[in-house]
Amino acid sequence: NAGVTQTPKFQVLKTGQSMTLQCAQDMNHEYMSWYRQDPGMGLRLIHYSVGAGITDQGEVPNGYNVSRSTTEDFPLRLLSAAPSQTSVYFCASSSLTGYTFGSGTRLTVV
């Protein structure tokens, strides 16, 4: 029972580089979302999806891109990494009765 799988767990990027954070769920949930966690600010919503082919912006979408081609996968793309994107990123999968979070990706942009 994998739940929500995020890869990689750790990543260091140089300013301007691009990368994709992977997220996969095996619970057949319609809803998936990406959050970033910064000290003292809780978790802030970046992008979310209510089903395959449907995505929308959250609270802090700038600098990030998403797509949802299948129910299982919801990758997050950083187009041109900036130091302000240094954070811990969590992917979540949800039904109307509960959320399941992945274990996170710790990203450092230097």
What is the binding site for other proteins (CB under 8 A)?
4, 31, 33, 35, 40-45, 48, 50, 56, 58, 90, 92, 94, 96, 98-99, 101-104
List the structure tokens of 93: 């999968």
Number of C-beta neighbours around residue 90 at 10 A: 21
Nearer to other proteins, 5 or 17 (CB): 5
**Euclidean distance between CA atoms 59 and 47, whole angstroms:** 8
Which residue type does 70 have? Answer: T
Closest to other proteins by CB, 16 or 51: 51
Name the minimum Å distance from CB 39 to other proteins. 9
Please choose, from the candidates 38, 35, 37, the residue with its C-alpha nearest in 3D space to the C-alpha of residue 47: 35
CB-nearer residue toward other proteins: 14 or 96:
96
